[in-house]
Amino acid sequence: MPRTLIEPQSPIERLSILDSEGNLDTALEPKLAADDLKRLYRAMVLGRRLDERMLKLQRQGRIGTFAPIKGQEAAQIGSVFTLRPADWLVPSFRETGAMLWRGWPIEKLLSLYAGRLEGSSPGPEQRDLPVTIPVATQLPHAVGIAYGIQYRGEDAVVMTYFGDGATSEGDFHEACNFAGVWHVPVVFVCQNNQWAISVPLKKQTNSRTIAQKAIAYGFPGIQVDGNDVLAVYAASREAVDRAQAGEGPTLIECVTYRLGVHTTADDPTKYRTDEEVKAWEQKDPLTRFRAYLEKKSLLEAGLEEQVDEEIARGVERFEAMPPADPLGMFEHAYAEPPAHLVAERAELAARLAAPGGDGAPPAAEPDSTPMRGQRRTSRWQN
């Protein structure tokens, strides 16, 4: 018998509306109100300026390691803009801009990177998950939430973020498979910033695009210029509308670039060239969108100063927070905590309540006759 074609090859589209040279495809330009365009730009500036301030705070030892977003503002703000409060946001570890848009206070985001429990606690009305550090593990969670929405007949959509490195993880493929099988209302937003820490995209996949990976799982994929906030918005608007209409998931590949370090513990000069970075700096999403707004006479005077003041107030509130409650370490790990943790919590609570209680264990009694090669230890020291 002759070979028969089961399915015609599915084409993958690339969407670009405003390129790095300032050329605008007016036929594709989304119809956004002037106030919305201003809000988009302000959110991008806030994300960038907070990123820069956080880098200084980290270098000063005032917060810990974090993942900067510089260069990826359009990919985040253009997509999250399409969500309603009733929709769900499931971030990875580099979505500061999207989380700000969703109402996370600056001081709460800073507290996360200071190791405080509050930083991982969304507000009672927020349909957001906290930052997820293990790569791609949030993607099955996002599909599970979307399945729950579908099962309950709710009017909501889930948008989840990840990087190109996450597409090399099994969690990504499992999530896409179940999203396709169940036809759930989820939008996968891949911020393809070209590097999975020090591994370039060409060493991660032989696919021409990440977007085409959606085809194998039975739903649409599209590649967009991730530094073009208009293109990201247009693709995200279409994907969210599809999900709301019961037409299932979409994979959006935002081709962008991480202009800074992977995290503040990283040195990108060890694996990429200055020439590459400078080439991508010419495609900066803020520079491009600013020029677009300038032509429309929509730039606000003193915007950067206003944003800097908002950030300064957030830093002040963060640093004015009272000391964290040590007992918080026992919360939110188990629905029903095991007996040994209950006992340890009670022991720590008693120590804290004691006069001068700071939770410190009593000093070990000196042993005047230790055996050769041995030293006294306690379980608190292990």
Looking at the annotation, which residues are catalytic? 258, 262, 271
> In degrees rounded to 5, what are phi and psi of residue 90?
-125, 100
- Decide: residue 335, CB within 10 A, 0-12 exposed, 13-18 middle, 19+ buried: exposed
Short-list 90, 279, 133, CA closest to 194? 279
Q: Can you list the positions of beta strands (E) in 106-179?
A: 158-163
> Could you identify the residue written with the tokens 């990826």?
72
Short-list 76, 12, 16, CA closest to 209? 12
H or E stretch at 233: helix 229-244
Cβ(102)–Cβ(126) below 8 Å: yes
Beta bridge partners of 200: 195
The vertex-164 CA angle with 256 and 73, nearest 5°, equals 35
- Decide: residue 34, CB within 10 A, 0-12 exposed, 13-18 middle, 19+ buried: exposed
> Could you identify the residue written with the tokens 């109402």?
103
Task: Print burial letters for 259-270: b (CB count within 10 Å at least 16), e (below 16).
Answer: bbbbbbebebee
Cβ(250)–Cβ(244) below 8 Å: no
Tokens of 19: 């390129």
